[in-house]
Amino acid sequence: MSNRYARQILFYGIGEAGQKTLREKSAAIVGCGALGCTSANLLVRSGLGYLKIIDRDFIEESNLQRQSLFDEEDINKNLPKAIAAQKKLEKINPHVRIKAFVTDLNPSNINNTLRDADVIIDGTDNFETRFLLNDFCVKNCIPWIYGACIGSIGMTMNIIPSKTPCLRCVLEDIPPFGTTETCDTAGIIAPIASLIASIQAAEALKILTGNFDVLSKGLLKIDLWRNEIKKLHIEDIREKSDCVTCKQHHYEFLSKDRYSMTTALCGRNAVQILQREMANIDFTKLAERLNKVGEVSFNNFILRLKIDKYELAVFPDGRSIISGTNDVSVARGIYAKYIGS
């Protein structure tokens, strides 16, 4: 084995055997924002076999303060986050197979996207995707690592199906839209995201190398501004509860009807619109048509149209993100007017 992993092999918890096991394993990171960038960086450097990165968004200037895989050039090139992350990570460690998915994880595509992962890392910013992940992972017996940050506070918890409480044991349902603070309403400092993602990456390394006995138990909550670290011991809530997901085995978030085709994106002043049928949009033709109504730019991954105070980003499968509004009906109207219904 090359010198690349020498220090990690020296570490008593990994060794030659652990490194070899790691090489045969795969992980998936869902959401490549502040958490996803850091955990992807750490895992790719550690030398796992295969990493999937799933993200639905493109990079904006306000991301650069904390999303450590991106730079100004990525913004100028209009790259989706998953693609920019893949390009950066391939330069860091070309021995790891990396696949980028520029998509919204939903009940229709989650099985094909995630079924062969040995561990899934939560880098999302919303509960709809987390509940979907939780149902999928409990059903398919895949460990996943919850992570969330806001302000200077971060939380993380390992979910090992049928062994530890699942997300639904802790939280019965998705908090209504607008009731939870987001990075865009309360702000965030980069170090808390970096810290939580580092913990997630360490827990993933333990899972991938089979060191289940040293996994962190319970829900860890850290406030870096007030210097508080709390461990909430919730290990026994699964025994006491009659959890819909992990006790009753009803996976309602995997049902297509439950998933919204139009979603206001968490505090981002933007709305995502999905298509029921996968399209294959010809950007050259669409750009010709839209050039008459506004400022258009496109590459292989994304077409953007600026019009009045709105900006439309269209992806090849017909999915779209409309920035400049949180109102789903306004966004739907703009989409129907310029892209088609």
Beta strand 144-150 with 119-122 is parallel
- Give yes or no: 183 in active site: yes
Task: Indicate the residue among 49 and 161 with the shorter CB distance to Zn ion.
Answer: 161
Beta strand 320-323 with 310-314 is antiparallel
Task: Indicate the residue among 250 and 337 with the shorter CB distance to Zn ion.
Answer: 250
Restricted to residues 107-166, the positions that interact with Zn ion (CB under 5 A) are 166
- Structural tokens at position 40: 């992807």
Residue 149 CB, shortest distance to Zn ion, in Å, is: 23
Number of residues binding to Zn ion, judged by CB under 5 A: 6
Task: Indicate the residue among 86 and 245 with the shorter CB distance to Zn ion.
Answer: 245
Task: Indicate the residue among 170 and 286 with the shorter CB distance to Zn ion.
Answer: 170
Task: Indicate the residue among 149 and 166 with the shorter CB distance to Zn ion.
Answer: 166
Catalytic pick among 183, 243, 246, 266? 183
Residue 69 CB, shortest distance to Zn ion, in Å, is: 33
Amino acid at 133: L
Residue 78 CB, shortest distance to Zn ion, in Å, is: 41
Instruction: Fill in the per-residue mask, 165 to 184: x = in contact with Zn ion (CB under 5 A), - = not in contact.
Output: -x-xx---------------
CA atoms of 4 and 22, how far apart (whole Å): 14
Beta strand 26-30 with 303-307 is unpaired
Instruction: Fill in the per-residue mask, 226 to 255: x = in contact with Zn ion (CB under 5 A), - = not in contact.
Output: -----------------x-xx---------
Residue 205 CB, shortest distance to Zn ion, in Å, is: 25
Q: Which residues are catalytic?
A: 183
What residues make contact with Zn ion under the rule CB under 5 A?
A: 166, 168-169, 243, 245-246
